[in-house]
């Protein structure tokens, strides 16, 4: 089993896998509501194909010990996660295409960052840190099978360093 140390989540580092969702200077910033609100516009491209977008809340428990054994992807649409409890979380991703355990990268998201996984990006299920955490999720609902999973052979399991 190999061990991966999480890297900080940045828009540039995560670009091959999707979008980072955060109120930052990279966004189009617009004052609205007569100046009482700032809109950080179009932070992610939500892909739904022939389906429609839905909003859900996922409640995730920390994975202990943090060993990655299963990855999934959504070939028909993107999937966005935004933390609601002010806690950091981990993201484990691999590029679209045939799954390659050697290509897995792990990111540590700040409590103010979310992500939008691009269509077909391999990712581990939610990796909450510190305590059970809620996430606002935007994803696709509609016709077709939008979930592929791969279970790693024990020799390919990945431990996540603290």
Q: How high is the pLDDT of residue 162?
A: 85
CATH of region 2-160? 2.60.120.480
**pTM beyond 0.85, yes or no:** yes
pLDDT digits (tens, 9 = 90+) for 109-149: 999 999 999 999 999 999 999 999 999 999 999 999 999 99
pLDDT digits (tens, 9 = 90+) for 19-78: 999 999 899 999 999 999 999 999 999 999 999 999 999 999 999 999 999 999 999 999
- Domain borders along the chain are 2-160
Q: Residue 53 burial (CB < 10 Å; 0-12/13-18/19+)?
A: middle
Cis? peptide before 65, omega within 30° of 0:
yes
């Amino acid at each position: 089993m190999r061990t991966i140390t999480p890297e900080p989540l940045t828009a540039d580092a995560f670009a091959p896998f999707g979008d980072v969702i955060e109120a930052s200077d990279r966004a189009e910033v617009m004052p609205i509501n007569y100046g009482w609100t700032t809109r950080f516009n179009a932070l992610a491209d939500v892909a739904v194909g022939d389906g429609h977008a839905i909003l859900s809340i996922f409640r995730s428990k920390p994975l202990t010990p943090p060993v990655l054994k299963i990855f999934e992807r959504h070939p028909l649409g993107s999937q966005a996660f935004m933390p609601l409890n002010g806690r950091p979380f981990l993201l484990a991703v691999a590029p679209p295409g045939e799954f390659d355990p050697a290509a897995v990268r792990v990111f540590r998201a700040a409590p103010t960052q979310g992500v939008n996984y691009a269509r077909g990006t391999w990712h581990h299920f939610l990796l909450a840190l510190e305590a059970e955490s809620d996430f606002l999720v935007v994803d696709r609902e509609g016709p077709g099978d939008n979930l592929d999973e791969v279970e790693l052979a024990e020799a390919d399991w990945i431990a996540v360093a603290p």
